[in-house]
């Protein structure tokens, strides 16, 4: 049995729709992970734009707040 590209595309789309209908948790997890990654990249970029703080200043800050 030979399958052409159009048939393969149709079968794959149907399979994907079926999986997403039966396992919506997978789609939710995928979106959550993507949003986490976007937030992480944003935090890293924001951190790269701020001045560095010396370790001693951080230690002093926590010593005064404990």
Summarised one tens digit per residue, pLDDT across range 13-63 is 999 999 889 999 988 999 999 999 999 999 999 999 999 999 999 999 998
Total number of domains constituting the chain: 1
Is residue 11 assigned to a domain? no
Distance CA 35, CA 38 (A): 5
User: Is residue 65, in this structure, part of any structural domain at all?
Assistant: yes
Report CA-CA distances (Å) from 26 to 19, 40, 55, 60.
9, 21, 42, 45
What is the pLDDT at residue 66?
58
Is residue 7 within a helix (H) or strand (E), and if so which, with residue range?
Answer: helix 5-22
Range of the domain at 54: 24-66
């Amino acid at each position: 049995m030979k399958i052409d590209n159009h048939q393969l595309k149709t079968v794959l789309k149907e399979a994907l729709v079926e999986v997403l209908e039966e396992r919506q948790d997978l789609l939710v997890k995928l979106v959550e992970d993507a949003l986490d990654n976007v937030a992480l990249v944003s935090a890293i970029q924001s951190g790269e734009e701020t001045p560095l703080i010396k370790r001693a200043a951080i230690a002093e800050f926590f010593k005064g707040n404990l």
